[in-house]
Structure 1
Amino acid sequence: MDLPFEVLVYLFKFLPKSDRKSASETCRSWYLAANDYCFLKNKVVIFYKSILNDEPTSPTNIFENSSVTFYNYLFNEVEISNKLNALWDKLGENIRCLTLKNCDINEKVFVYILQRCRNLQSLNIESCKELFMSGRLLEGKTEGLLVESLDSLRSLSLSGNQYLTDALFNRFSTAAPALEELNLSGCSLQFHLGLVKKFYPPGSNIFQNPSESVLTFYFILQFVIARAENIKKLLFSNTLIDGAALKSLSEVTNLRLEGLEVHSCDQLTNTGILALTTNQTMLKELDIGLCTRVTDQSLVYICNNLVNLEYLNIQRCRAVTDLGIVELKKLKKLKSLNISQCELITKDGLERGICAEENYVLEELDIHSLNIDQTAVIIISEKFPNLRSLDISYCFNAVTDTSVQVIFKNQVNLEILKMSHCDKVSDAGLTGMGKVGEETDDDGPIMSNYDESAYRHKIHLGSRAEEEIVRDARRKHDVMLMCEKLTTDTYTGFSLARIKGLRELDISGCNRITDVSLTYAFNFKELTNLNLSRCQQITHKGIGHLVLNCPSIEFFNLIDCYNLKDEAVEEIVRGLRRLQQLELRGCNQLTDKSLEAILTFCKKLKFLDVQGCRNVSPELTTSIGSLPTLHTVLMSKPGPYISDGQKNRSPAPTFLPALMKKLRLH
């Protein structure tokens, strides 16, 4: 008996998108349920490095003839010509969000697209310099049909376009009267008052004669003043916006911003932050990461005035110390916090600030590259029980077998865990081969069962590096024995496998991780993104267990895992049916057998990196580009090759022209 459509849709809401996609391939009723509007409104159709035309083999034909209506389209590094006019004629009225990124498109085609996409709510034109180069885009087109097309536009992004001018921006804004969000990140915004006096003499109407030479902040400010009641979010990252400019923007009458992003703006000062926090108290999102002039004073202003803040990023604001971090406890609604790379923050600041009391609101925390110890990580794991994302990468002294055991004990709801280059973590920590200290209760510190003292009395005559290798081998052997003897009575530690809902895991550079962890600590049915790069002790034995217990992996990074051989790649491509991205750079023991296995079993692979795999022939690497789903192959430059100790200076192999767009030589 078939389940009703409404019941299927309800059940699919509990599935992650990867599982929902796979379920949609089962039968037509499941396909329709998985593509209900509640899912489709967030689903994006991506054309990346594709050849798009009016031929029957063009990927666009799939969507032109589809019974399902898609609302969001992204075109990345493709050529958009008038050969696609049929696509816009047929689907244009349904498109709500359109993104053109690094695309080759001319003005006439762009205008045609806008005229057909009459219900656009979001338009993103990123780094399409040829489109703006002439300065004539939309000239004489901002009335009539085009205005009707952009009447519903709420979000406009023109980021990364160096040829954008006041005149070009004015044409877009005139055609879109209901804008709420504006993104000008990476544009060449000019703030010099001399330019304003040159192009806009006193008494002139700037909207009637906007400059066709430069993009001035003065013009953008006048636009914001005119639309203040509608504007909700502004993005000026990677520009020269300074304290004075932010102050004038913040003081605009009737402006009630909910989001501001000024990431990597080196000229931003405390003066601007003070004015912002005084006037824009409704802010919910604030990104001032990599603003090097931001100090504790700014953080005090933020925490005292922006009580509604839900997202805050102060990444690498190096002047911020514990004095500012202590104030974070005042932000009771904060859901996402990034304080990474702030070198002056210590455990004391965290303990008196965000960790002053238990917090059930915070869901995302990024503290990578902080100079803290393991006690700080333990406190964090205990104070934020509802964390979904945690980044503790490069916290060399803080992430140990002891601290990760506490994380595995308390943070069972994590979906994203990143602890890259934490080389103190070993198999003992990941597998849970530890115990709670006998002198403490269950909430006390967790200590490793592994005892190195038994070996300390032995004198090692080799180098320090050799001694470390021997110690790692002994540790691996002892942990393996503990895992093999594991029973419910003797198991007192906390394994990584406790985090059942883990979807993304990064333990790259944790070189003490071996096959033991892959065998006994990895069992995640929902894991889609796994980074094991530079975990140089893993082999095909551990990979075999990993693939069996984590079948949903789509993005797999194995860069510089030089102990992997062809058997490991064969295990991966046979077991991971959803694999889309595979990075094998520096795995120099791989041969053509690996590529043959990829060619045979990978039906969904989009990205492959085999740079530095010196035993892989360039000819076979080129032929693998024929996979229909594959859009990028990274490979080393062909020749000169070394065989039998002699350089072979024969000509490089001939590449098929049709595959050249897929291949990148490095």
Structure 2
Amino acid sequence: MDDCEGEDMIETPELPLEIIVYILSFLHASDRKEASLVCRRWYSASQDLRFQKDVTFCFPASSSALELIRALGRKSRCSLIISQLDGFSVSRSLLLEVGLCLGSKLESLALPGSSITEASLLALLPRLTSLRRLDLRGLDSLFMSGAFLSREEQRQQVRSALSGLEELDLSDLRYLSDLTFNRLTGCTPRLRRLSLGGCHIAFEFDPYRGCPVGAVEDSSALLSLRNLRRLLMEQKSTLVALDLSRTSITPESLRTVAQVQDLVLEELCLHGCKELTDYSVEVLVKHQPDLQRLDISACTELTNRIFQFSLSPSFLGILCHELDLTSCVNVTDLSVRSIATYLQKLVVLRLGWCKEVTDWGLLGMVETTKCDLDHETGDKGPRFTRTFGNMGFFKPPRLPFDERPKLVTQRDLEQFKQQDGASLLALSRLAGA
């Protein structure tokens, strides 16, 4: 009995921290998180720098955040999301500490829900010499006066620091103008990704001057298509991703963007651009055949036509990996057939709220022998856009209770598994397929 008690008293020697780190390196991030709860020593090992690549620290502005920023100064690199910054002393001190402790280590900075002053940001930016991503979405306080980066001395300092910036998010800025846009993007000459989602871009007409936007000079009140095109031409060698979602871009304006010479886009987001038509998407995929991700969700004017004519093997079907059609209410089963025929390299396909797509369409069991819309696209007289509304020219839509939907049986599913051709089975690369 005494011998047994003596054996229980023997202490297991502690593993060196380097060994624990080595063991943790074989674990998935979620398992490593669980292992960090074993004891203080295992927690310390889990905080090794090799496990902290691409880590983003998110916190609101407060006096307690100052110590966190000072602690982050010991890391080789990091990313920050600081919310609720304002023009008061705590926020100014916080941004000053970011510049002092993390200036050469910060790779990404986002300031959501903030109302900082121009002076605070312009004191910080020249210190961020390693910044790769800058998120200024919704920061109207910076652009309201129109004086942001108005001094050449300021622009030179910011340009020196942000010459390597790759991603710039300017979404939801109500007061972005030609002047402020040119000043800022003039400091970021090697952009790869630009987001202007929700910005008030005037694509056609300047109501303040009574003439086409940008026809005379850079506007101090609006961001124009001319200036956007100028940026695309200047940075076409690096720019691969563009977000124009929730803007009033017209089919003619999209054609102007798509036809910028030598511009090769890999990603384009047009979510909620309600003016776009089938023709505009046809032109887009013709001039930008290297698109790998296309988001045309909530573009309610799009119909089956784009999948009959646009998505042909010579265009988007070669490279497209991600297609978002969420809330495209006119997309039907025939669209799914065409997608399955031409876009067999898709990894992601989103069809949420496509109310005309049925189980039969997903199974590729549409009653047609080829991917055409001849029976739907014949000349049936003039077509009216949503602008004119329903003035009695249209046949009333079928009500949900007019006919009972045909249920998919087990026999139908077996037939689906055995068939070849235009069904979701052809999209073998879909995530989770």
Instruction: Give me the TM-score of the superposition, normalised by structure 1.
Output: 0.50
2:107 and 2:148 mapped to 1: Cα distance? 22
Matching residue within 302, 307, 311 for 1:302: 311
Alignment of 1:192-341 (within 5 A): 192-194=204-206, 197=211, 200-201=214-215, 210-300=218-308, 301-302=310-311, 304=313, 305-306=315-316, 307-329=318-340, 330-341=342-353
User: Is the 8 Å Cα contact of residues 192 and 239 (structure 2) preserved in structure 1?
Assistant: yes
Letter in 2 for 1:322: D
Letter in 1 for 2:66: T
2:264 and 2:197 mapped to 1: Cα distance? 20
Q: Which residues of structure 2 form unaligned runs of 5+?
A: 1-14, 367-404, 418-422
The alpha-carbon deviation at position 193 of structure 1 amounts to: 3.6
Matching residue within 65, 72, 84 for 1:77: 84
Q: Which residues of structure 1 form unaligned runs of 5+?
A: 355-370, 390-410, 412-666
Letter in 1 for 2:222: V
Letter in 1 for 2:133: S
Matching residue within 59, 65, 69 for 2:65: 59
Matching residue within 190, 215, 218 for 1:178: 190
**Cα distance change, pair 382–230 in 1 and its aligned pair in 2 (3 A):** closer
User: Is the 8 Å Cα contact of residues 213 and 226 (structure 2) preserved in structure 1?
Assistant: no
**Cα distance change, pair 51–223 in 1 and its aligned pair in 2 (3 A):** closer
Higher relative contact order, structure no. (Cα contacts within 8 Å, ≥ 6 residues apart): 2
Matching residue within 151, 173, 181 for 1:169: 181
Q: Select between 20-29 and 85-94 the one with higher mean Cα deviation.
A: 20-29
CA deviation profile, 1:58-99 (whole Å, cap 9, x unmatched): 123123124444511112233363212123211121110101
Letter in 1 for 2:291: L
User: Is the 8 Å Cα contact of residues 347 and 372 (structure 1) preserved in structure 2?
Assistant: no
User: Is the 8 Å Cα contact of residues 45 and 70 (structure 1) preserved in structure 2?
Assistant: no
1:353 and 1:137 mapped to 2: Cα distance? 58
CA deviation profile, 1:487-507 (whole Å, cap 9, x unmatched): xxxxxxxxxxxxxxxxxxxxx
SS in 1 for 2:229: helix
User: Is the 8 Å Cα contact of residues 292 and 320 (structure 2) preserved in structure 1?
Assistant: yes
Quick one: percent identity of the two aligned structures? 26
The alpha-carbon deviation at position 286 of structure 1 amounts to: 0.5
SS in 2 for 1:256: coil
1:36 and 1:382 mapped to 2: Cα distance? 44
Alignment of 1:131-530 (within 5 A): 131-140=142-151, 141=153, 143-194=155-206, 197=211, 200-201=214-215, 210-300=218-308, 301-302=310-311, 304=313, 305-306=315-316, 307-329=318-340, 330-352=342-364, 383=425
2:239 and 2:33 mapped to 1: Cα distance? 36
User: Is the 8 Å Cα contact of residues 35 and 68 (structure 1) preserved in structure 2?
Assistant: no
- Taking only aligned residues, the RMSD between alpha carbons, in angstroms, comes to 2.9
Letter in 1 for 2:319: N
SS in 2 for 1:248: helix
**Cα distance change, pair 192–68 in 1 and its aligned pair in 2 (3 A):** same
User: Is the 8 Å Cα contact of residues 347 and 430 (structure 2) preserved in structure 1?
Assistant: no
**Cα distance change, pair 15–82 in 1 and its aligned pair in 2 (3 A):** closer
Letter in 1 for 2:267: G
1:37 and 1:373 mapped to 2: Cα distance? 55
User: Is the 8 Å Cα contact of residues 75 and 100 (structure 1) preserved in structure 2?
Assistant: yes
Q: Which residue does 1:111 correspond to in 2?
A: 122
Letter in 1 for 2:104: E
**Cα distance change, pair 244–117 in 1 and its aligned pair in 2 (3 A):** same
2:168 and 2:348 mapped to 1: Cα distance? 25
CA deviation profile, 1:455-493 (whole Å, cap 9, x unmatched): xxxxxxxxxxxxxxxxxxxxxxxxxxxxxxxxxxxxxxx
CA deviation profile, 1:88-146 (whole Å, cap 9, x unmatched): 21112111010111202100100111112111100011111112111111111554321
1:22 and 1:115 mapped to 2: Cα distance? 40
SS in 2 for 1:175: coil
SS in 1 for 2:29: coil
CA deviation profile, 1:518-559 (whole Å, cap 9, x unmatched): xxxxxxxxxxxxxxxxxxxxxxxxxxxxxxxxxxxxxxxxxx
Q: Select between 235-244 and 81-90 the one with higher mean Cα deviation.
A: 81-90
2:65 and 2:215 mapped to 1: Cα distance? 52
**Cα distance change, pair 29–173 in 1 and its aligned pair in 2 (3 A):** farther
1:127 has 2:138 as partner = yes
User: Is the 8 Å Cα contact of residues 142 and 171 (structure 1) preserved in structure 2?
Assistant: no
The alpha-carbon deviation at position 310 of structure 1 amounts to: 1.0
The alpha-carbon deviation at position 295 of structure 1 amounts to: 1.1
Instruction: Give me the TM-score of the superposition, normalised by structure 2.
Output: 0.75
The alpha-carbon deviation at position 15 of structure 1 amounts to: 3.1
CA deviation profile, 1:363-401 (whole Å, cap 9, x unmatched): xxxxxxxx8955589969995888766xxxxxxxxxxxx
1:374 and 1:112 mapped to 2: Cα distance? 64
1:168 and 1:43 mapped to 2: Cα distance? 31
